Chain A
Amino acid sequence: MAEAATAARPRRWEGLDRATPVWLLAAAALVGLILMPLGWLAYMSVRSDGGLTAAHYVRVLGDPPLQKALWNTVVLALWSGLMALVIGAPLAWLTARTDLPFRRSIQSLVMASFVTPPFLGAFAWVMLAGPNAGYLNRLYRELTGAVDPLLNIFSMPGLIFVVAIYTFPYVYIMIANTLGLIASDLEDAAGILGAGRFQVARTITLPMVLPAILSGFILAVLQALALFGSPAILALPAGFHTVTTQLWSFFQYPPRVELAAAFSMPLLLATALLLLVQKRLLGRRGYAAVGGKGGQRRVVALGRWRHPALGVCLAVLAAAVFLPYGILLKAAFSRAWAQPLTWDNFTLDNWSFTFLSVTTRSAIVNTLELGVLTACVGAALATLLAYVTNRRLVAGHQVLGFLAVAPVVIPGVVLAVALFVAYTRPPFLLYGTLWILFLAYLTKEMPVGYSQSDATLRGIHPELEEAGRILGAGRFRVLREITAPLARSGIIATWCFVFIGVIRELSASIILFSPNTKVMSVVIFDLKEEGQFGAIAVLGVFMLVMTFVIVAVMQRLLGRDVMGGRQAGGAG
C-alpha cells in the first residue's frame, strides 16, 4: 500500500499559541512601570545644561548637613533593626514554640502592629510622650512632682523606639514561620541528653533559625530606611534630618530635582545591596530552610517563667498597640486631648468637624478611589504575571519575576522622585492628577501583590490545567474555568493586601500630591501642621477601622493567619 505522498504538516497558524501576545503585553507593562522611571532618575542625577556631569553627586555627598542626614539614617536603621530583633525574636519563639498563655491573641495583636501605619503610631506617641503635654509625662509629673519630663519622644532614641515597635513584626513573621518548620525531634534529641529547655533553645534552635534572624533583621532595616512619616514627625521638630525627610525638603518650592535624584542613589544602592544579602541568606526558596523532615512539633513548657514571659509580651504590645490605640481613641472623642477623659471632655465634634470638612471628604474619596483602582489593576496584573512566571510562558520569565518584586528596592520617596521626573514632561504630563499617585501605588505594591499571587498559583498544580488542555480546552478557557475558580480566594487576598498598602501609603504621596489630589495620609500630615490632634485621631481611627475590616475579610477567605501562619486542616 502506498504511503501518503507527504505526511500532513501543521500549518503555521495551527501551531501558534494564541495566548502569547497577552503575556507579552503584561510583560511590557511591567517593564514600562519600573524601568522607565528608574531610567529617568539615573539620567536626572547626571544631567546638566552642558551634558552629563557628576556635579550633583559632588554637591550632595560633600555637603555637611546632607552628610549628617545620611549618617542619621544609618544610625536609625541599624539601631531600630537591632531593637526590632530584640523584640521580635523572643516574641516569635514564645508564641511559636512555648506554652505561653494567650498565644493566639498575642499573635493577632502583633498583626495589629503590623498593619498600623507607622506615622499614625508616631502621632500617637507624640500624644503619649511629648515633653510638654504627653500623657505619660503628665502622669509621671503628677506622681512624682518632678518638673522635667520622663520621656522626650522628639529625639533619636524616641524615633528609634517608634520605628522599632512597628517594624518588629517583620522579624517576628520571619522567625515564627521558620520555627514552625523545625521538627521537635531535633530538640528532643538534645533534651534526652540532658540539656535544659533554655540550653536547647540556645544551642539547637537558635543556630537553625539564624538565617531567618539575620534575614528578619535586614527586612526591618530596609523598612526603617524607607520610612518618611515617623522621621518627619519626630526628627524634624528635634532638629535633624534623615535621607527621606531631606529628599522631601528638596521638593519644597522650588523643587531641586537633580539634587534629589543624586541624593536618592545612595539609598537605592543600600537597599539593593541589603536585599541581595538577604536573598543569599535564604536561598532560592525565600525562607530559611531547615533540616529534618519537619515532623511533630511540641511546645516547650515555660514553668515558672510563664507569667514573666507574658508580662514582657504585654509590655511590647502595650507600646505598639494598647497605648497608641488608646490615646488615639481618647483624642478622637475629646475636646482637649491632653485633658483626662471626663464627661465634660467627651465630644463628637471632632468627628463632625473632620467629616464635614471638604478637604477631608475629598481626601477620603480620593483614597478610596485610588485604593479600589490600584487593588483591582494590581491584583489583575500581579495574577497575570504570577501565571506567566509560574507556567513559564515566555522566555525570560525569571527576569519578569525579578522585576515584579524589584520595586521593594525602591524607597517610596525615591520612587516618587523618579515618577515626578518621568511624568512631569510631555507626552506624559501626569503630575497634578490622581494618575501619578495611581502609578506610584501600583509600582510600590506590586511586590506584595506578586508574592501573594505567586504563592496562590504555586498551590495550583500545573497538571490541573494540562488535564483540561489535553481534553480540548484552549489556554484561556482553562484559565477561566479551571485556574480562576481555584485561585479566587488567593486573588482576593492579593486585592486586600494592595488595598491596605494604598490607604496607608505616605512617603510617595507626600511628594506627588497636589492641592486637588490629596489623600488621607497627606491630610493627616497637614493637620499636624495645624496642631489638630483631634481630627488626626479621628482620621487615624477611621483608617485603622477600614484596615481591620479588610484584614478580617482576608482571614476568613484564606483560612489562616494573614502573616502566613500554617493553614488549618493540613496540606492541600
Chain B
Amino acid sequence: MPGIAIASLTKRFGDVGAVNQLDLEVRPGELVALLGPSGCGKTTTLRLVAGFLTPEGGEIRVGDRVLSSPTVVVPPERRRMAMIFQSYALWPHMTVAQNVGYGLRFAGVGRADRDRRVDEMLRAVQLAGYGARYPGELSGGQQQRVAVARALVVEPEILLLDEPLSNLDASLREEMRFEIRRLHERFSITTLYVTHDQAEAMVISDRVAVLRDGRVAQIGPPAELFERPRTRFVAEFVGKTNLIDAIADGPGWVRRGGLRLRVPGEALAPSAASSTPPATPVVVSIRPHQIALGPRGAIADASGSVLAGTVVRASYLGDAVDYQVALDGSDVVLRIAGPAPARVGPGQAVSVVVPAAACVLLPAGD
C-alpha cells in the first residue's frame, strides 16, 4: 500500500493561484482530510492527484512512481486510483451491478470472478440484492453507497473522495461519516478526503490538513488541530473559539486594556522563541467549553484568571447553553458553552474562570 508525496505543487487558473507550492505527505494506509473554505484549493489538489489536471510546478508521487509533473502526467486510467464524486457520477444507463463492476473489466478479472466480487462488495455496503436496479430508482443514500462500492471493489492503491456526503441530509450525513470510517478501518486504503465540514473531517480522519489559499496552513491529528492551532485562521476554522487581540505583558501574562489574562508561561507557538518579549502583539484563542461560569464570587481558580462580567444572553440549546458574557472594564465579550439548564440569566453579574492552560497564544496579524 503506497503513500502519496506531494511536493511544491502549483496550479494556476488564469491569474488565480489555486494551488500554491503545496507540500503534503499521506502515509501508507492513512486517511488525510483536506479541509478548508471554498476556493482554498482542496478540490483542485484532489483533481491534480487524480490526474485530471496538469500541474504548473511541483510533482506528485505515489510510492516510488512519479505520476504528475509539469512535463508529464500519467493519465487517470493508469494511476491505479479510485474516486468517489460529490455527484456520485453513477451511470444512469447501467444497472447498479454494471456500475460497480465497471472498473473490474480493466483489471483482467474474469466474468465469474467479477460477479462474485461485485456481490461481495454490495453486501459490504448493505445493498445486497440491488444489483439489477438502476441508479435512478435508488435514494440519495443508496446511490452514495453504490459509488463507494464501485470505488472499493477495484482494490485501488489510492482512494480519493470529493465531498461525498454534501448532497445528503444532515442525519444521513452523520450516519455515513461513521460508515466511511468503518470501511476505512476495514480496508486501510491510502485515502485523500476533501471536505469543508470540520466535524466530518474530525470524525473521519487520521490527520487533517487545513488548506488556505492553496497551501497547507496546518496538518495534524484532529485533537492537535483543535487543542493546539498554530494560526488564527486554523483556530477559527476548526471549532468555535474566542479570539482576543492583546499584547504580551511579561512571562505568563497578556493584557488588553484593563484586562489581564494568565497564559501558559513559555512559548508563543511551538515554532517561535521560548519566551515572548513584552509588548509583542498576540492573539489568544480560548475554546468556549473550557471557560467556567458561575454567579459572582461563587467560583475561583488558582491556575487561571478569574474575571468579573455580565451576561448578555443565554441561548438554550437543549443539551447545552450558549452564553455571551461582557467582561467588566473591557470591550471583550466572551462566548461560553455551559451545561443545561442555565444557572445564570441575562443581566446577571457573574464570575468567569479562564484556565491558563486553555489559552492558546497565536501570532498576531494572520
Contact = CB atoms under 8 A, between A and B. Distances in A.
A467 B85 contact: yes
B181 interface: no
B89 interface: yes
B332 interface: no
Interface in B72-123: 72-79, 81-83, 85-87, 89-93, 102-103, 105-107
Given A469-B75, A470-B82, A485-B93, A463 B87 contact: yes
Contacts of A7: 61, 64-66
B59 to A, nearest CB: 9
B72 A467 contact: no
A466 B93 contact: no
Contact of B106 (A15, A17, A461, A471): A471
Interface string B41-69: 00000000011100000000100111101
A464 B147 CA distance: 12
Given A15-B72, A473-B106, A463 B85 contact: yes
A292 interface: no
A562 interface: no
A469 B93 CA distance: 17
Nearest to B153: A471
A471 B150 contact: yes
B211 interface: no
A470 B83 CA distance: 7
B91 A482 contact: yes
A7 B66 CA distance: 6
B103 A471 contact: yes
Contact of A8 (B65, B90, B93): B65
A473 B106 CA distance: 7
B154 interface: yes
Nearest to A464: B89
Interface string A450-490: 00000000000101101111111111000000100110000
A24 B98 CA distance: 33
A571 interface: no
B87 A461 contact: yes
B24 to A, nearest CB: 16
Contacts of A475: 75
A468 B93 contact: no
Q: How large is the interface on B (under 10, 10 to 19, 20 to 34, 35 or more residues)?
A: 35 or more
Contacts of B51: 470
Interface in B8-61: 50-52, 61
Given A10-B65, A461-B87, A468 B102 contact: yes
A28 B103 CA distance: 34
A15 B73 contact: yes
A480 B363 CA distance: 56
A486 B135 CA distance: 14
A8 B66 contact: yes
Interface string A1-38: 00010011110101101000000000000000000000
Contacts of B76: 466, 469-470
Contact of A472 (B50, B86, B93, B107): B107
Contacts, number: 86
Given A8-B65, A10-B74, A14-B78, A472 B103 contact: yes
Interface centre among B86, B103, B160 (most CB of A within 10 A): B103
Contacts of A474: 75, 77
Interface residues of A, number: 25
B89 A467 contact: yes
B56 to A, nearest CB: 14
A566 B330 CA distance: 61
A10 B107 CA distance: 20
Contacts of A12: 72
Contacts of A15: 71-75
Nearest to A13: B72
Contacts of B89: 461, 463-464, 466-467
Contacts of B81: 470
Contacts of B83: 466-467, 470
Nearest to A478: B77
A14 B102 contact: no
Contacts of B71: 15
Contacts of B103: 471-472
A475 B52 CA distance: 12
A461 B61 CA distance: 29
Nearest to A474: B77
Given A461-B87, A461-B89, A472 B74 contact: no
Contacts of A9: 66, 69, 72
Contacts of B73: 15
B99 to A, nearest CB: 9
B77 A470 contact: yes
A304 B77 CA distance: 66
Interface string B160-182: 10000000000000000000000
B82 A14 contact: no
B190 to A, nearest CB: 15
Contact of A14 (B69, B72, B91, B106): B72
A9 B66 CA distance: 5
A461 B167 CA distance: 16
A511 to B, nearest CB: 45
A12 B71 CA distance: 9
A44 to B, nearest CB: 40
A470 B160 CA distance: 10
Between A4, A463, A466, A471, the greatest number of chain B beta carbons within 10 A of the residue's beta carbon is seen for A471
A46 B76 CA distance: 52
Contact of B102 (A4, A463, A471, A486): A471
A14 B66 contact: no
A467 B47 CA distance: 12
Given A471-B82, A472-B107, 19 more contacts: A9-B69, A10-B72, A14-B72, A15-B72, A15-B74, A461-B89, A463-B85, A466-B89, A467-B91, A468-B102, A469-B76, A470-B77, A470-B81, A471-B77, A471-B150, A472-B106, A474-B75, A482-B91, A486-B91
25 contacts: A4-B64, A7-B64, A7-B66, A8-B65, A9-B66, A9-B72, A10-B72, A14-B72, A14-B74, A15-B71, A17-B75, A466-B83, A467-B83, A468-B102, A469-B77, A470-B50, A470-B51, A470-B83, A471-B77, A471-B82, A471-B150, A472-B77, A472-B107, A486-B91, A486-B93
The 3 closest A-B pairs by CB, nearest first: A472-B106, A471-B103, A15-B72
